[in-house]
A and B are shown apart, each in its own frame.
Chain A
Amino acid sequence: MKNVLGRDIPEYIEGIGKLEPFQGAWTKLKKGWMDEPAVAIATKAKLPHENKLCESLEEAIIKANPVNGMTISFHHHLREGDDVIVKCISILSNLGINSITLASSSLTTAHDGLVPYIQDGTITRIYSSGIREKLGKAISKGILDIPVIIQSHGGRARAIRTGKIKIDLAIISASAADCEGNATGAVGKSAFGSIGYSMVDVEHAMQSIIVTDNLVDYPCIPISIAQNFVDYVVKVDSIGDPSKIASGTTRITKSPMDLRIAQLAANVIEHSGYFQNNFSFQVGAGGATLAVAKFIRDKMKKKNITGSFMLGGITSYCVDMLNENLFKALFDVQSFDAAVSSSLLNNKNHIEVPSTLYANPFNCGCLTNKLDIVVLGVLEIDVDFNVNVITSSEGYITGASGGHSDTASGAKLAVAVCPSFRGRIPIIKKRVNTIVTPGESIDVLVTERGICVNPNNKDLELRLRKAGLNIRDIHDLEIEVDGITGIPEKIQFTDKIVGIVEYRDGTIIDVIRQVKE
């Protein structure tokens, strides 16, 4: 069957079940009451002063009674610096556990070490927002029999709330925790900031383990994860390296090209009609995306504008803007910079939020619904403004859905920024490899060679033209860029589906096929 974007979606996949095709960003949600009920929180009891502390990670995992076919969840707040996920899977493998479903909020290059455990059958299914490098390549080549399921951050929260992902064991790294399992990521030598992606995991997991390298006297303050959801606590030497959270992506770029794109994007925002007092704003980390914040900061000061809140992945640049009173609050589901931790700890207007509040579409209104402006990077964008942030120009899985579709759908103004080509590869395509965010959610594309407004947003185009900005038809720009780079050869795929891209509402927006070697 075809979904509304014309993508071929199978009706059923063995090991996954029946698939529901994507019908539009709001088609499923506009009815208000959803058919999928929320699952109940596990009912358990502990006796007073019972000891939750374990001697080792292995002991904690054994106490959780691991079984074949279990679902185990993790967070990715330590990003490239995570030292827990591969270790836990290795322990489970040594215990002879197989056919595990791995449900991590995302996977990074720190998780390349999972490949052998997929090869030997320890892991047979994966849910994740993102997958990169060796792991992404291995999955793209067909290492898993059951396709990986790519979810947005909001979509993952929804899937856990509705029991689509049934977590048997949540293992949560924390930079500080006490003996009862009260835990946080905001203090300690491995502080990584918000622990927002884990909150829904511990609430709905059958069992949960807190792993920390900083066991503090009771009580651990602040309490980001509360003890009533925690079964076991274990102290390890290290949960990872927080200096690898950012990998340089939270500094303002010096690349002239990124700065140029960012400046043009800031001009678009300034003249969009949404740049006014109390506006809310989200930008990602790295490259042109974060650099937009620099130009917006200057414009806010120049025009004496103050905003309402900044959302999402929070960088130290966002903290600076909060401290300058340019925004009233930061809602932080994920900190892109370990330096953010002290602000999270000390500034009451820097608020840690769970992923359910951040972006879950199945509730009475998540924070992304309240966004005015979001700036988003892209791997590819097509002439219908559909965005790919998951597969590379060679067809391999190498990115992350993240909060892309969540924020793009909720924001009044979704600004996509990218160079028109990278190296010799055009970024603007007739059709993207994989759709993660539908074109209907993207209002405007900003490149160094011109600004393309989604034809659905005529008012915006008029405002930007009136401001003298260089507005171009996206088809013309695509032709121009093809003229510079040449048209790349089509990627050859087999019929095997290696990945399913879930839209935030659980419908299937696209599938990823095996790259033909």
Chain B
Amino acid sequence: MIMKKNKRRTALYIPGHNPAMVQQGGVYGADTVLLDLEDSVALSEKDAARILVRNMIRTVDFYNTEVTVRINHIDTPFGITDLEYIVPVKPEAIRLPKIETKHDVIRVIELIEKIEKKHGIPHGNIKIHPMIETAIGVQNVFEIAGAHPCIDAITIGGQDLTADMGIVKTKDNAGLDYARKAIVMAAKANRIDALDSVFADVNDDEGLRIETEYAKKIGFTGKAVINPRQIDIIHDVFNPTDEEIRVAIKIVKAFNENAARGIGVFALDGKMIDAPVVTRAQHVLNLADIDINDL
């Protein structure tokens, strides 16, 4: 049986110091809620956000939404304390800003392991999502993506990256094209998710759709969201069409039947079906929330 996997089409940023927004994080239908301790939180609110996010993870039901926390960079005065507060409440993932080398990631993962040991938490359950936000990070992205088994997604921070490159972020993302594709390729090479940056204009639905369609086309598996109103459009783009679902069901069913007879490669409607085709078909079913065993 092929197992279903969590979807990561959307990651909804929520400022960690805003209790009203944090408590509603799970109701908007985003695949991931990204509780932020970094850029959306003023320096004077850092400690309040950290405490609030810790307590909210303990008490609030986020339903089926993956809970991720973006901490401050480990070299800031806040990063290590963030980990000390957040790791014990076991979010599903921690997002690490401005990662430039694989050593940056390993250092944080070692810190997490220490905190886990102190609290008797088994290591490896909290996933790590490095953010690539500098030119050096882009150059090192392949190594970063494969630095540790805990890393199961990598993401681009478009605003910081353009700032680091000394260019203006344009609507067509021309200056980021290389970086986005490099990040996607590193993710694919390491079999992890590639998550795109936010689309800042919350009133431009058409612009969001165009940018998301491009992100999907070049290989991103999801996109960060700054307003819940953006979620549906992004899901709509990443969701498979009815025809794609129909074909995927046919392929996976045929694969399971053949696999039971020990056959790995077979023909369906005149086309050869092998493992990569089945993997793609299963991905379509995952996105459509379809379990082949339920059919």
* A interacts with B: yes
Residues of B within 8 A of A484 (CB): 23, 60
Contact A468 B229 (CB under 8 A): no
Interface pick from B24-32, B126-134, B141-149, B189-197? B24-32
Q: Is the CB of A260 within 8 A of B228?
A: yes
Q: Are B28 and A260 in contact (CB under 8 A)?
A: yes
From the candidates B24, B60, B61, B289, name the one contacting A257 in the complex (CB within 8 A).
B24
Residue pair B61, A480 in contact (C-beta under 8 Å) = yes
Does B227 reach chain A (CB closer than 8 Å)?
A: yes
Considering the chains assembled together, what is the distance between the CA atoms of A484 and B27 in angstroms? 14
Within residues 198 to 234 of chain B, which ones have a CB less than 8 A from any CB in chain A? 227-229, 232
Contact digits for A189-210, partner B, Cβ 8 Å, 1 yes 0 no? 0000000000000000000000
B22-65 at interface with A (beta carbon < 8 Å): 23-24, 27-29, 60-61
Q: Please, which residues of chain B bring their CB within 8 A of the CB of A257?
A: 24, 27, 228
Most chain B CB inside 10 Å of its own CB: which residue of A254, A260, A263: A260
Chain B residues whose C-beta falls within 8 Å of the C-beta of A254 in the assembled complex: 229
Q: A263 contacts B232, CB within 8 Å?
A: yes
Which of A231-258 touch B at CB < 8 Å?
254, 256-257
CB contacts (< 8 Å) of B61 on chain A: these are 480
Interface size class of A (residues with CB under 8 A): 10 to 19
Query: In whole angstroms, what is the CA distance A260 to B21 when docked?
Result: 14
Of the residues A256, A449, A480, contact of B228 by C-beta under 8 Å: A256
List which A255-271 residues lie within 8 A (CB) of chain B. 256-257, 259-260, 263
Given contacts A468-B289, A480-B61, contact A259 B229 (CB under 8 A): yes
- The answer to whether A259 and B228 have CB atoms under 8 Å apart is yes
Beta-carbon nearest neighbor of A484 in chain B: B23
Q: Which residues of B contact A133 (CB under 8 A)?
A: none
**Which residues of chain A are within 8 angstroms of B232 by Cβ–Cβ distance?**
263
Range of interface residues on B (Cβ < 8 Å): 10 to 19
Return the chain B residue nearest A264 by Cβ.
Answer: B29
Contacts of B227 in A (CB 8 A): 256
Q: How far is the CB of A384 from chain B (nearest CB, A)?
A: 24
Query: In the assembly, what is the distance between CA of A262 and CA of B260, in Å?
Result: 45
Contact with A along B227-260 (1 / 0, CB 8 A): 1110010000000000000000000000000000
**Known contacts A254-B229, A468-B289, A480-B61; is-contact A260 B27 (Cβ 8 Å):** yes
Cα A480 to Cα B27 with chains together (Å):
13
If over half of B's interface residues share one DSSP class (helix, strand or loop), that class is named, otherwise mixed; here it is loop
Does A112 sit within 8 A of B, measured CB to CB? no
Does chain B have a CB within 8 A of A440? no
| Chain A positions within 8 Å of B229 at CB level | 254, 256, 259
* Least CB distance, B25 to chain A, in whole angstroms: 11
Cross-chain contact B23 with A448 (CB below 8 angstroms): no
Docked pose: A256 CA to B226 CA in angstroms: 11
With A254-B229, A468-B289, A480-B61 known as contacts, the answer to whether A260 contacts B29 (CB < 8 A) is yes
- Chain B residues with CB under 8 Å of A263's CB are 232
Instruction: For residue B28, give the distance in angstroms from its CB to the closest CB of chain A.
Output: 5
CA–CA, A36 to B142, complex, Å? 83
Bound form: Cα–Cα A468–B227 in Å = 25
Cβ proximity bits A444-467 to B, threshold 8 Å, 1 near / 0 not: 000011000000000000000000
Give Cα A6 to B8, complex, Å: 49
Nearest neighbor of A485 in chain B, beta-carbon distance:
B23
> What's the least CB distance linking B80 to chain A, in Å?
32
User: Which residues A364-378 have CB closer than 8 A to chain B?
Assistant: none
CA distance A498 to B13 in the complex (A): 48
Residues of A within 8 A of B27 (CB): 257, 260, 448-449
List CB contacts (< 8 Å) of B73-126 with chain A: none
Nearest CB of chain B from residue A498's CB, rounded to whole Å = 34
Per-residue CB contact flags for chain A residues 66-89 toward chain B (1 = under 8 Å, else 0) read 000000000000000000000000
Q: Which residues in B have their C-beta under 8 angstroms from that of A260?
A: 27-29, 228
| B289 to A, closest residue via Cβ | A468
B214 to chain A, nearest CB (A): 23
| Cα A263 to Cα B28 with chains together (Å) | 10
A448 to B289, CA, bound (A): 20
Residue of A nearest to B227 (CB): A256
**Least CB distance, B30 to chain A, in whole angstroms:** 10
Give 20 A-B pairs besides A256-B28, A259-B229 with Cβ atoms closer than 8 angstroms: A254-B229, A256-B227, A256-B228, A256-B229, A257-B27, A257-B228, A259-B228, A260-B27, A260-B28, A260-B29, A260-B228, A263-B232, A448-B24, A448-B27, A448-B28, A449-B27, A468-B289, A480-B61, A484-B23, A484-B60
Top 9 nearest A-B pairs (CB, nearest first) are A256-B228, A448-B27, A260-B28, A256-B229, A449-B27, A259-B229, A260-B27, A260-B228, A256-B227
Q: What are 23 A-B contacts defined by CB distance under 8 Å?
A: A254-B229, A256-B28, A256-B227, A256-B228, A256-B229, A257-B24, A257-B27, A257-B228, A259-B228, A259-B229, A260-B27, A260-B28, A260-B29, A260-B228, A263-B232, A448-B24, A448-B27, A448-B28, A449-B27, A468-B289, A480-B61, A484-B23, A484-B60
